[in-house]
Chains A and B, each alone.
Chain A
Amino acid sequence: MFNPSLWRVRRFSDTLPEMLQLQREMNRLFSNVGQKSPQDYPAVNIWEKDGNAVITAELPGIDPEKMDISVLGDTVTLSGMALQETFTQGETYLRQERGIGSFKRNIQLPFQVNAQAVEARYEKGILMITLPRNKEDLPKKIKVQ
Chain B
Amino acid sequence: MVEKDMQKTENVSATERIRNVKTFVPRVDIYENKDSLFLLADMPGVDEKSVDIELEKNVLTITGRVEDGRMKDATMMYSEYEIGDYERVFTLSEEIDHNKIVATVKNGVLRLELPKAEKVKPKKIAIKAA
Give CA–CA (A98, B31) in the complex, Å.
12
Within 96-117 of B, Cβ neighbours of A (below 8 Å) are at 106-109
The range of chain B's interface size is 35 or more
B75 at the interface (CB under 8 A from A): yes
A35 touching B31, Cβ below 8 Å: no
A36 touching B1, Cβ below 8 Å: yes
Nearest-neighbour CB distance to chain B for A8, whole angstroms, equals 44
Q: Which residue of B lies closest to A59 (CB)?
A: B44
The range of chain A's interface size is 35 or more
10 closest cross-chain pairs (CB), A and B: A125-B108, A125-B44, A60-B108, A49-B74, A43-B80, A43-B81, A61-B109, A58-B44, A46-B78, A97-B27
A126 touching B45, Cβ below 8 Å: yes
Q: Which of the candidate stretches B12-20, B32-40, B53-61, B119-127 sits at the interface with the other chain?
A: B32-40
A96 touching B29, Cβ below 8 Å: yes
B71 at the interface (CB under 8 A from A): yes
Q: A98-B40, A124-B107, A126-B108 are in contact. Are A92 and B31 (CB under 8 A)?
A: yes
Within 76-134 of A, Cβ neighbours of B (below 8 Å) are at 85, 87-88, 90-99, 122, 124-126
Q: Which of B7, B45, B77 contacts A53 (CB 8 A)?
A: B77
